[in-house]
Amino acid sequence: MKFKKCEINRIFFITLFALFLCSLCFGKQGFSIGHQKDKGNLFNFSSSFSAEIIETPKSTMDSIFSYVCYKIPYKLLSFKKVSGRELYFSTYSVEVEFKDSIGVIRKRIFDKDTITLSDYEETKSDNLCKIGLLQTTMPISEYKISVKLFDANSRQVDELNFNQFFSNIAEGKGFLASPIFAYKDNIEDETFFPFIHKNSIDFTAPNASILLQIAFKPSINGIFYSIETNEERNRDNFWNPTLSLKGELFPKMNKTFQIEYENNRIVQNIIDFNIDTKKKQNYEIGIVEIEIPEDEIIPGVYKLKLWANGAEDSISIDFKIDWFAMPITLRQPDFAVEAMYYILTDAEYKELRSGPRKDLFTKILNYWQPHDPTPQTAFNEAMAEYFKRVDYAMLNFETLSEKNGAKTDRGKIYILFGPPAEIKQSNENGINVEIWKYDNLKKEFIFEVESMSNYLLKKIIEN
């Protein structure tokens, strides 16, 4: 659906596009008009129950600690209101089941908790999540693991299945834990935060790494890895991923992970590991970190292979680099181009619309590339912020006569300049007026409410 020209001259918006790029530094989160909440919480398509399994060895080397990290978006749960109070609560439980290779259940562990919120809108949020952690010990073996989420009525909401645990490498000469996909705030840190997204890396995350706990016998002569694009699963990928890494793994010796739960977050620290003296002659213990170069973090499906020198078999694991919170409007290239109508010249719009549809997303990326504040990475903050604002405007500024809020005057101003520093509402001569004040731009935008609850931009004041 094409964005029509409005009463405000589109050239005005194109002229102010540079101010949009500047406004990226000033935009504030959590904006709302009066008591209006962000309806974007209802439309996060990436929202789902997710979990991750982290394994670390015991000093005896005959069993492991298994940590089950899980993440539950509030929207998946049913909340009830506390009678007479502005409080909402939901009780959930998580069940983890371990089955051996012939399907016999070897262990079950449970977690149960109650979430209490004071804002009803938060109960519908995908962006707000409950993060939890369960821990147990298991003998080293191959297991099938199921992680089930239940609501307060014991109804199963979701189930995830894993084939994880220490894998045998090089004919019994060593063990390799399942990879952990994590990030860290600073590149020099040894504190990591798992994504908890089942073998996925967030496209927007800083300092992404793949972590491996490894135990091996001295007779192993080198352990190697490669990461390549999974061509078959990337055939329809607009991003054209090209990640290719390979090399030898050099573990940080006598190290393991300490997994803790802190303030609704899983924290993973590297700590010293002291192996049992009876086992020390048989195994070496270490941790490997495969850093993903920031210029190679491109959405797609990849294959991680691990093998020991001289061994015939290799361990192969598929993983994804995914934009967890990709804006809704950018998921559909046709709509994305229409949402750029305010900042495109007629020639630019015509160029984007020319040629095969399959090239449209690439053209959008190319258009935004000169405006990228971090050109060394594939993630373009300017493009992401623009379409994030389009999403917000589309869902929060709709009127009785215009269901797409991004096409309204308030939507257009929000897209270009972000949330105002201050909003004033008044009645002047029987006309409802809303004033948006931007301190950084030294401007005020005056909207008048006309029929069908339409907010029309009538005046711009320079302060």
- The strand pair at 315-322 and 200-202 is best described as parallel
Task: Return the percent helix, strand and coil in the chain, to nearest 5.
Answer: 20, 40, 40
The whole-angstrom separation of Cα 288 and Cα 302 is 19
pLDDT at 458 over 70: yes
pLDDT at 25 over 50: no
Are the C-beta atoms of residues 393 and 446 closer than 8 Å to each other?
no
Q: Which domains are present in the chain?
A: 10-43+325-462 (no CATH), 48-165 (2.60.40.10), 166-322 (2.60.40)
Return all residues near 214 (Cβ < 8 A) that are at least 6 apart. 174, 175, 176, 177, 223, 249, 251, 285, 286, 287, 288
Residue type at position 184: K
H or E element that contains 409: helix 409-417
pLDDT at 17 over 70: no
CA angle 207, 213, 217 (to 5 degrees): 140
What pLDDT, in 10s, does the model give residues 287-332? Answer: 999 999 988 899 999 999 988 776 667 788 899 999 988 999 999 9
Are the C-beta atoms of residues 126 and 75 closer than 8 Å to each other?
yes
Reported as a pLDDT band with limits 50, 70 and 90, residue 16 is low
pTM, rounded to two decimals: 0.83
Reported as a pLDDT band with limits 50, 70 and 90, residue 174 is low
Reported as a pLDDT band with limits 50, 70 and 90, residue 165 is low
Give me the chain's average pLDDT, please. 85
Residues 115-134 have a mean pLDDT of 90
Question: Of the ranges 110-114, 168-172, 355-359, which is most confident?
Answer: 110-114
Q: What pLDDT does 18 receive?
A: 55
The whole-angstrom separation of Cα 142 and Cα 100 is 6
The whole-angstrom separation of Cα 92 and Cα 160 is 16
Which residues on neighbouring strands pair with residue 161, listed in sequence order? 146
Q: What pLDDT does 306 receive?
A: 87
Between 372 and 125, name the one with better pLDDT.
Answer: 372
The whole-angstrom separation of Cα 78 and Cα 91 is 8
Closest by CA to 173, choosing from 213, 220, 221, is 220
